[in-house]
Chain A
Amino acid sequence: MAADVTLAAPIASSAQPSSFAEFWASFRENKGAVAGLVVLSLIVLTAIFADVLAPHSPLEQFRDAVKLPPAWYEGGNWAFPLGTDALGRDMLSRIMHGARYSLFIGLSVMAVSIVCGVGLGLLAAFSGGWLDTAISRVMDLIVAIPSLVLAILIIAILQNPSLEKTIVAVTVVSLPRYVRLVRASALSEMGKDYVTAAKVAGVASLRLMLRTVLPNCLAPVIVQAALGVSDAILEAAALGFLGLGAQPPTPEWGAMVGDGREFIRSEPWIVTLPGLAILVTVISINLFGDGLRDALDPKLKRS
């Protein structure tokens, strides 16, 4: 397999192997990461095609089939493969649609955190002085408060919990990691000779910040972002469980666990299945993120 590749490459093109090919070769060595990527892809596809794949509407209540167990148990019905919840809604359809919400929260938190985190981190590193101190201390302050408590506090300040407000709260909570990471790597890059050389060549601050320094800080940020998605999903699920996230009847996984918790002894699948969905998603993202780190971080790379 490896021999084919090395033989074919020089014939196909004399150019250097692209950075993506290099990344992929290093990534696929990690079996766990590839498994994570596969599972994650399945979840993403499920989320995208939930309307087509789901057997029922996630909101439709089947009054004659309330609290049905999964189909392979006694009393189950193959019309509802994973059973139904307390209101007779199909669990499978709700979990499939729930993937949309969880991934949407995870990705939007990640996107907003990256943009804000990179901006604030670079600003702190480049300005120095009081602005740097101000940004760094505010981030320390956010870290000092337990994240779930702070998220609840933000929801309380914004009033009327909803999916959007969950995103805002989780973003604020996860921001310090990005800001610190970007600031630290920007500061270490700025001490290097190529930045001085660019300054001497007359490169002005904005270009220096975005074109010279930023690309060299991005690898750890990408890894952090991948792992940050899973943290955001967990955080949002916790808020949903407490009733401070997505509101009923939205099929958000955390809220589903919260709604079903009174049936944990009698009808455990109502709680277990959405919880399992959260678990699988988070694990696959973490495996993928670990593989990403191994492949992108030159310090961990085997030679």
Chain B
Amino acid sequence: MSDAILEAKDLRRDYEVRRGFFGGTGIVKALASVSFTLRAGKTLAVVGESGSGKSTLGRLVTMIEEPSGGSLFIDGIDLATATPQERKRLRKEVQIIFQNPYGSLNPRQTIGAALEEPLIVNTDLSGKDRVSEARAMLARVGLRPEHYNRYPHMFSGGQRQRIAIARALMTRPRILVLDEPVSALDVSIRAQVLNLLDVLQQEFELAYLFISHDLSVVKHIADEVMVIYLGSAVELGASATIFAEPRHPYTRALLSATPVADPAAKKERIILKGELPSPFAPPSGCSFHPRCPLVIPRCKEAFPPTEIIEGREVACYRARDAVAVPAG
């Protein structure tokens, strides 16, 4: 596909952590190796449980942090070798929406000032043009003109998230990282915000990197899904394919845990044992093997290579075996 605007290859991020005063440093592999492509107008959902590295991925893509390894191409330019001018331009292309709408707006800044700020630092528009752009964007996300001079504490969670979306769009980005954008919102507001995101995606040809742990939302919004476990991508493919027929045992377990609004539907529940292992000491071989119901001796030796099976990338030795996962 030619309209790829962001490409990540083997993206890796380690954190050095001091363990106690005399403990020396330990290395946490927050993100082990992740590759994917974002395309204009499409949504890639990243799912995984807490601590799996979803938000770290978001921080790398938005250039808040530098990757420890691998490469990230935005618009075909490798970020590692980009000149400062190119970085400044590319920074405008990627914006982020945070989970908590109560922490993502500056409490001492009016909504108008918050929307104008990206224009002040990135463009040389006159004050009058900035105001009209900001007001247009405010209307675009469904807020009223009189909200312009108000402060964030005067808004509800859903309204704040709309403001955060408006602010992110001020620089006319082409990529939006949505870090659990609706998890903090009331269920009745969720659909409104998701629909707004959908409309804006079509209007501005935005590529979304949608980070979430809520599979019902992902199913609704994603074109492609990437499942990550302990910093590694275990399955990546078209949303419909993965939801219809997950191949990785972890994906199967995740999907079986999604509630279905149909009391008649019989579902096999796969219940995983244990906890997410400590990223200080990841398990040998496949990081999922201690909890995997299909584990075979080979899983403990080496991380399975990524293979393309029936239209999705999957990293599992047993993905080809059409074995039923034992429940419980």
Contact = CB atoms under 8 A, between A and B. Distances in A.
- Tell me if A's interface is mostly helix, strand, loop or mixed: helix
Contact of B103 (A194, A204, A212): A194
B64 A196 contact: yes
Q: Which of A193, A199, A204 has the most CB of B within 10 A?
A: A193
Contacts of B108: 215-216
B95 A200 contact: yes
A198 interface: yes
B74 to A, nearest CB: 13
Contact of A199 (B64, B164, B167, B171): B64
B108 to A, nearest CB: 4
A297 to B, nearest CB: 14
A198 B164 CA distance: 11
B105 interface: yes
Band of interface residues on B: 20 to 34
Interface string B59-90: 00011100000000000000000000000100
A202 B91 contact: yes
Interface in A237-278: none
Nearest to A215: B108
B169 to A, nearest CB: 11
Q: Which of A16, A196, A200, A203 has the most CB of B within 10 A?
A: A200
A198 B121 CA distance: 10
Band of interface residues on A: 10 to 19
Contacts of B91: 200, 202
Contacts, number: 59
A14 to B, nearest CB: 9
Nearest to A191: B103
A198 B106 contact: yes
Contacts of B106: 194, 198, 212, 216
A204 B117 CA distance: 11
Interface of B: 62-64, 88, 91-92, 94-96, 98, 100, 103-109, 117-118, 121-122, 150-151, 154, 164, 167-168, 170-171
A141 interface: no
A137 interface: no
Contacts of B105: 194
Interface string A213-235: 00110000000000000000000
Interface string A28-63: 000000000000000000000000000000000000
B170 A197 contact: no
B85 to A, nearest CB: 13
Q: 9 closest Cβ contacts across the A-B interface?
A: A193-B104, A201-B118, A215-B108, A193-B98, A193-B103, A194-B106, A202-B121, A192-B103, A202-B122
Nearest to A201: B118
12 contacts: A16-B150, A16-B151, A193-B100, A193-B103, A194-B104, A196-B64, A198-B117, A200-B96, A201-B122, A202-B92, A203-B117, A212-B106
Contacts of A203: 117, 121
Nearest to B99: A193
A200 B63 contact: yes
B107 A216 contact: yes
Contacts of A199: 64
A147 B121 CA distance: 44
